[in-house]
Chains A and B, each alone.
Chain A
Amino acid sequence: MDYFLELLLGGLTRGSIYALIALGYTMVYGVLGLINFAHGEVYMIGAFVGLIVSGLLTVLGWPVLAIVAIATVCAMVYAAAYGFTIEKVAYQPLRHAPRLSPLISAIGMSIFLQNYVLLAQSSDFQAFPQLVPDFEFLEPYTHIILSSELVIILAGVVTLIVLFLLIKFTKIGKAMRAISQDRQMAMLLGVNVDNVISATFIIGSALAGLGGILVASHVGQINFYIGFIAGLKAFTAAVLGGIGSIPGAALGGLILGWTESFATGYVSSDYEDVFAFGLLVFILIFRPAGILGKVSSEKV
Chain B
Amino acid sequence: MAEFKKSFIAALWFVILTFPFVAMKVDSFEKVVTWRWDNVLYMGVGCFFFSWLWRYLLQRKEFSKTEDKNKKSLFQQTLKDRLFSDPKVFRPVLIAAFCVAVIFPFLFSPYQTTIMTTALIYVVLGLGLNIVVGLAGLLDLGYVAFYAVGAYSYALFNYYYGWGFWSILPAGAILAAMFGVVLGVPVLRLRGDYLAIVTLGFGEIIRLILENWDEVTFGPQGIPNIPKPNFFGLEMDFQTTTLYMYFVVFVMTIFTIVVVRRLNNSRIGRAWIALREDEIACQAMGIDTTKTKLIAFGLGATWAGMMGVFFAAKNSFVNPHSFTFIQSAMILCIVVLGGMGSIVGAILAALILVLLPEYLRAFSEYRMLIFGGIMIIMMVFRPEGLISNVRRKYELHGGEKN
Residues of A within 8 A of B (CB): 34-35, 48-49, 51-56, 58-59, 74, 78, 81-82, 85, 89-90, 93-94, 97-105, 107-122, 126-129, 228, 232, 235-236, 239, 270-271, 273-274, 277-278, 280-281, 284-285, 288, 298, 300
Contact = CB atoms under 8 A, between A and B. Distances in A.
B33 A104 contact: no
Contact of A105 (B17, B137, B376): B376
B201 A277 contact: yes
B24 A281 contact: no
Nearest to A33: B193
A228 B375 CA distance: 18
Contact of B31 (A59, A100, A228): A59
A51 B21 contact: no
B28 A277 contact: no
Contact of B26 (A59, A103, A288): A59
Given A127-B28, A271-B208, 20 more contacts: A74-B20, A93-B58, A97-B379, A99-B193, A100-B192, A100-B276, A104-B139, A104-B336, A108-B372, A111-B371, A112-B376, A116-B369, A119-B366, A120-B18, A232-B197, A232-B200, A232-B201, A273-B204, A277-B205, A281-B198
Contact of A59 (B32, B192, B205, B365): B32
Nearest to A108: B375
Contacts of A116: 18, 21, 369
Interface in B13-38: 13-14, 16-18, 20-22, 24-29, 31-33
Given A35-B193, A110-B372, A277 B380 contact: no
A129 B16 CA distance: 24
Closest 7 CB pairs of A and B: A108-B375, A55-B26, A112-B372, A111-B372, A277-B201, A105-B379, A115-B369
Interface of B: 13-14, 16-18, 20-22, 24-29, 31-33, 39, 58, 133, 137, 139, 141, 186-187, 190-194, 196-198, 200-202, 204-205, 208-209, 212, 276, 280, 325, 329, 332, 336, 340, 365-366, 368-369, 371-376, 379-380, 383
B33 A55 contact: yes
A284 B198 CA distance: 8
A48 B21 contact: yes
A300 B281 CA distance: 10
Given A90-B380, A101-B379, A128-B28, A280 B197 contact: yes
Contact of A127 (B25, B29, B373): B29
Contacts of A107: 141, 196, 329, 332, 372, 375
Contacts, number: 171
A274 B203 CA distance: 11
A113 B374 CA distance: 13
Listed residue (A100, A109, A235, A300) with the most chain B CB atoms within 10 angstroms of its CB = A100
Contacts of B376: 89-90, 105, 108-109, 112
Given A104-B336, A277-B201, A55 B208 contact: no
B373 A52 contact: no
Nearest to B137: A100
15 contacts: A35-B197, A49-B20, A51-B28, A52-B24, A56-B33, A58-B31, A74-B20, A108-B375, A126-B28, A235-B197, A239-B194, A278-B205, A280-B201, A281-B202, A298-B280
A213 to B, nearest CB: 13
A74 B20 CA distance: 10
Chain B facing A: main interface SS = helix
Nearest to B366: A119
A55 B29 CA distance: 9
A285 B39 CA distance: 48
Contacts of A115: 366, 368-369, 372
Nearest to B31: A59
Contacts of A35: 193, 196-197
Contacts of B137: 100
Contact of A58 (B28, B336, B371): B28
A118 B370 CA distance: 13
A128 B27 CA distance: 9
Contacts of A56: 24, 26, 33
A288 B29 CA distance: 46
A117 B28 CA distance: 17
B204 A108 contact: no
A100 B137 CA distance: 7
Nearest to A56: B33
B369 A103 contact: no
A111 B375 contact: yes
A235 B141 CA distance: 15
Contact of B21 (A74, A121, A126): A121
A288 B190 contact: yes
Contacts of A126: 28
A300 B383 contact: no
A295 B99 CA distance: 57
A227 B263 CA distance: 39
A84 B211 CA distance: 37
A81 B373 CA distance: 19
A64 B334 CA distance: 49
B189 to A, nearest CB: 8
B369 A112 contact: yes
Listed residue (B198, B332, B375) with the most chain A CB atoms within 10 angstroms of its CB = B375
A85 B15 CA distance: 13
Nearest to B25: A121
A107 to B, nearest CB: 6
B373 A108 contact: yes
Nearest to A120: B21
A119 B329 contact: no
A231 to B, nearest CB: 10
Given A281-B201, A284-B198, A298-B280, A81 B17 contact: yes
A101 B31 CA distance: 44
Contacts of B133: 100
B18 A274 contact: no
B379 A108 contact: yes
Contacts of A78: 17, 20
B119 to A, nearest CB: 21
A100 B139 contact: yes
A15 B360 CA distance: 45
A228 B198 contact: no
A89 B373 CA distance: 11
A123 B16 CA distance: 22
